[in-house]
Amino acid sequence: MNSNEEPKVPIDADAEQAVIDEATRVRRAGHSRRTFLFKVALLANGLVGAVMAVPILGYLLGPASKKASAEESWISLGPIAEFPEGETRLATFRNPITTAWDGQTGDVPCWVRRESGTTFQVFAINCAHLGCPVRWFAESKLFLCPCHGGAYYEDGARASGPPERGLFVYEHKLSGDTLMISAGSMPTLAAKATTSPTLTQIAGAAPFSPGAIPKPRCESCQD
């Protein structure tokens, strides 16, 4: 607008004002048009983002959406002759779902207790407290956890310490002379709480329910 002030030639003020108004109107119209287009562009990018989010979230949440039943399958622990009656032995199996780069982590241990004849119990290695590997002590007939001192009796029932329940138990069956268990995912409290049919509570006990959790003998004397 400064350039309009330079020439001292007297011109019609109204005409000058009309020119200015026209220029302003055109500029404003252009601005409003570009603002609108920018909003359209933002909307388009928002849509692209929303569409992109679908595969990204699907990819990220993929592992969580798998059904437990799809990951569990029957695995052989070997002939039952390998498990002497009245003893509890460590057995290992290759997880049914692995990747080529799993290495040793694809091998999973478990405790097999052969009570007598064809009566078995197969316990997960993971402590029901925080998943550390429990060890069997044959003389004192206890499973002990090295992390926080959870202890379980030979039948997997909670004996003492911080666990709020007994050891996790794999479902098992005999196929001829072979001991089979249903396994595939890491046993945790959540895997149990879904009452998946493949993993059951300690044999002989009532099915798992929150009321059935064995209470510690003395809740105030945790030491």
Partner 1 sequence: MPRLTETAKSVYQWFEDRLGLGKPILDAVEHEVPESTASWWYVFGSAATVLLVMQVMTGVLLGLVYSPSAGHAWASLEFLDHSVTLGWFLRALHGWGSDFMIAIVLIHMAQVFLFGAYKFPRELTWIVGVVCLLLTLGMAFTGQVLRFDQDSYWGLGIGASIVSRVPLIGGALVKLMLGGPIIAGPTLTRFFALHVFIIPGLLIAMVGVHLWMVLRLGINEWPMPGRLVSKTTYTRDYHKLTKETGIAFVPDAAWKDAIFAAAIMLSVMACAFFFGPFGPTGQPDPTIIQTAPKPDVAFLWIYAVLAYLPPSLETPVLFIAPVLGIGAMLLLPLFSPQGEKHWSRRPIAVLMVAVIAVVLGVFTHLGTYTPWSPIMDAWTSDPVPVRYLHNRTPLERQGALVLQNKQCRNCHAVGGSGGLRGPALDGVATRMTEDQIFRQVLQGGGNMPAYGNSLSPAETKALVRFLSTLNTENEPKAIDASRDLVTTLPDSASPARVQ
Closest CA to 122 of 132, 111, 136, 131: 111
Binding range to partner 1, per CB under 8 A, among 1-9, 21-29, 79-87, 124-132: 124-132
Q: How far is the CB of 183 from partner 1 (least distance, A)?
A: 9
78 binds partner 1, rule: CB under 8 A: no
Element (H or E) spanning 15, and its range? helix 13-65
Binding to partner 1, residues 125-164 (CB under 8 A): 125-126, 129-135, 137, 139-142, 144, 146-149, 151, 153-154, 159-164
Binding range to partner 1, per CB under 8 A, among 7-15, 77-85, 121-129, 200-208: 121-129
Q: Contact, 206 vs 165, CB < 8 A?
A: no
166 binds partner 1, rule: CB under 8 A: no
- Look at phi and psi of residue 28 and say left if phi exceeds 0, alpha if psi is from -120 to 50, else beta: alpha
Cα 134 to Cα 52, 91, 107, 125: the distances in Å are 45, 13, 16, 6
Q: Which CB, 165 or 172, lies closer to partner 1? A: 165
- Placement of tokens 């998943």 in the chain: 131
25 binds partner 1, rule: CB under 8 A: no
| Tokens representing residue 25 in the block | 């109107």
- Placement of tokens 């849509």 in the chain: 47
- Distance (Å, rounded) from C-alpha 2 to C-alpha 35? 27
Q: Contact, 143 vs 126, CB < 8 A?
A: no
Tell me the number of residues near partner 1 by CB under 8 A. Answer: 69
Q: How far is the CB of 111 from partner 1 (least distance, A)?
A: 10
Q: Which CB, 78 or 216, lies closer to partner 1? A: 216
Q: How far is the CB of 89 from partner 1 (least distance, A)?
A: 12
Beta-carbon contacts of residue 11 (< 8 Å; ≥ 6 apart): none
Would you tell me which residues interact with partner 1 (CB under 8 A)? 60-61, 63-66, 68, 71, 90, 92, 95, 97-109, 125-126, 129-135, 137, 139-142, 144, 146-149, 151, 153-154, 159-164, 184-186, 188-191, 193-194, 216-223
